Structure 1
């Protein structure tokens, strides 16, 4: 396990556990008190809002809401991209052309304006969690579908896939048993990226007042902090924690995604090994220079770097 993967897993698991468990140890996030905008203290570790609501309790419930939306959008967007990308490429012909045309149409449509327009046309009373999930999923599957289509086109012509077809296997079994296992690393990477995009997209929608009306998320925390003039009043404990959770969770998922990319692409793994070896040789050169070794040894050590250069 690489250090970056370990850091990413610690961030992702830590924030996920906080969102799942912390709600059972905090109070009511909607309880109004007469202690408005109090800074962090022993009673309120993250202070209170303008109406005396506990920021820590709101953060726990908001983290859980954002994680729920992120995972649901990730599952739905990944399922759509897998269907249109893998199934279309396997069937070929008119089905593949129709699915490719649909993917291209969604690719050329600007994602963020489309999300804003769709969310804006839905009445606020009807704009629930599933509405936001469907809107975000429908606008984030096309790019992944194109990648899966290209991968499927390279896999479907291999000998073991052709042997399954000749043996009379049903199309769904050929896709699930023969093709899908070869695409799991790519699908896993796309799933992680879809979660990141969903959390950021939902936070953006909620920040401008177009989020879900019946759920608490990190974006709604930022929305209410903005409306409560938290920045101008200096109430940093109101808007910094949700923004920090979004940043740390996105960084953790990105590190996990980069590690998955190294597994998928061996060239990235070789490049990481080359850089590690180059740093070791550089330290060796500095040590040799400090000891006054001749330039011959230095040239020999540099030749070592060229030998481990990635291909």
Structure 2
């Protein structure tokens, strides 16, 4: 009779979990329900258009400006003209070519490092929320240590002692960029850990990975997207800052190295604004676009930010 009783208890638990999940648990279309309001948000659409323009320009750089972007193509320090739309550097390099080719490395490293940092933060957050107090305490200590360390000096020290190159920059950005997102995601995961559908899934004997991925993660979609946008924004700015300080790979072309060479050549003191404004403006516009998309995520997930038909908030 004991096996029959155990089977009946398992059936009761399974039916209870299914009922709780239908009433308040994650829905299969949760991500789609987040994307639909984003598509209706003017801020999110404007940010997506700006990002799409930069990504398209980066992908089409070999077509729009074939050859080596650092080659000498005109008179040194020439101002913008029909032959060179954004002018020429003191070394004779076309600024437009440097800006287009610089977008390839800056966006690739920034997007990749931001996504990797968000993934690390998400794993830490889910593990802290679901694997018990001991694991949570250990991961909280590690997270707090990285949060207490000053960000910019840590970036400079790590980049200075690692071999120059995009791989080293990528690792440095991931190591220094995950802690802040982990703290935010951990708070969200902790609040989900005590919900009925997660508790019911644990009672029915589902494994930790299935509970975290199948039950908790779908309900964290908006917070994860916001954390991703923030990490990407920070990674692009940090990479530009490191390369502006001369810690990038020599000979590489990116927005940060463009600013570095413009400062080295004394562009600001001599009034050659066209050598540093395009790369600086590109960094600012990408950050602005990411902020617009993030604002769209807030509007889609926070009913208080929805606009009424009269146009007032």
Q: Which residue of 1 aligns with 2:260?
A: 223
Runs of 4+ in 1 over 4 A off after TM superposition: none
Deviations 1:146-166 (A, max 9, x none): 111111111122222122222
Given candidates 5, 9, 16, the residue that maps to 2:55 is 16
Q: How does 1:132-143 map to 2 (within 5 A)?
A: 132-143=169-180
Deviations 1:59-83 (A, max 9, x none): 1110111101111111111011001
SS of match in other structure, 1:276: coil
Task: Establish whether residue 97 from structure 1 lines up as the match of residue 132 from structure 2.
Answer: no
Task: Establish whether residue 60 from structure 1 lines up as the match of residue 100 from structure 2.
Answer: yes
Q: Which runs of 5+ in 1 are unaligned?
A: 279-311
- Give the conservation status (yes or no) of the 8 Å contact 1:131–1:212: no
Against the structure 1 CA distance between its residues 214 and 164, is the aligned structure 2 distance closer, same or farther, given a 3 Å change threshold? Answer: farther
Q: How does 1:41-190 map to 2 (within 5 A)?
A: 41-122=81-162, 126-190=163-227
- Give the conservation status (yes or no) of the 8 Å contact 1:39–1:48: yes
TM-score (normalised: structure 1): 0.83
Q: Which residue of 2 aligns with 1:3?
A: 42
Given candidates 77, 91, 97, the residue that maps to 1:37 is 77
> 1:262 Cα shift?
2.0
Q: Aligned equivalents of 2:249 and 2:301: distance in 1?
A: 36
TM-score (normalised: structure 2): 0.83
Q: How does 1:144-293 map to 2 (within 5 A)?
A: 144-213=181-250, 215-269=252-306, 272-273=307-308, 276-277=311-312
Q: Aligned equivalents of 1:232 and 1:129: distance in 2?
A: 30
- Give the conservation status (yes or no) of the 8 Å contact 1:81–1:142: yes
- Give the conservation status (yes or no) of the 8 Å contact 1:129–1:215: no
Deviations 1:170-190 (A, max 9, x none): 111111111100001101111
Q: Which runs of 5+ in 2 are unaligned?
A: 1-39
Q: Which residue of 2 aligns with 1:293?
A: none
- Give the conservation status (yes or no) of the 8 Å contact 2:114–2:232: yes
Q: Aligned equivalents of 1:37 and 1:277: distance in 2?
A: 50
Greater Cα shift, 240-249 or 229-238: 229-238
Q: Aligned equivalents of 2:309 and 2:146: distance in 1?
A: 40
- Give the conservation status (yes or no) of the 8 Å contact 2:74–2:93: no
SS of match in other structure, 2:158: helix
> 1:8 Cα shift?
1.2
